[in-house]
């Protein structure tokens, strides 16, 4: 049983996400936060991994790039590092 209280501020949606996730692990939100905090202290690190999802604009660019590669369109081929550097400099 706890003998002190730690208060954190967050928005309602985040609190609900934490509570639901903790429940899926069979923990209360408080137990989950305590366990995560103690693990970070024990490991001496905190790993935060963002969800990397492309925007619609980036998805469009990626599809276009895949088509260009597939059709060998808008692609520059070089045979050496110096040739690649010269090509990049020519674009400036």
Question: Tell me: the pLDDT tens digits for 63-78?
Answer: 999 999 999 998 888 9
Question: Tell me: the pLDDT tens digits for 4-50?
Answer: 898 999 999 999 999 999 999 999 999 999 999 999 999 999 988 88
Task: With beta carbons less than 8 A apart as the criterion, state whether 61 and 67 touch.
Answer: no
Render 36-69 in DSSP notation, one character per residue. Answer: HHHHHHHHT-----------HHHHHHHHHHHHHH
- What are the structural domain ranges in the chain? 1-49, 56-90
Q: Is 70 exceeded by the pLDDT of residue 2?
A: no
What predicted TM-score, i.e. pTM, was given to this entire model?
Answer: 0.52
């Amino acid at each position: 049983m706890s003998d002190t209280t730690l208060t954190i501020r967050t928005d309602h949606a985040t609190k609900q996400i934490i509570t639901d996730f903790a429940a899926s692990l069979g923990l209360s939100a408080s137990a989950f936060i305590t366990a995560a905090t103690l693990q970070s202290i024990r490991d001496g690190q905190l790993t935060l991994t963002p969800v990397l999802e492309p925007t619609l604009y980036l998805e469009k660019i990626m599809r276009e790039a895949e088509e260009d590669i597939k059709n060998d369109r808008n692609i520059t081929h070089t045979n050496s590092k110096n040739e690649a550097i010269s090509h990049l400099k020519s674009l400036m």
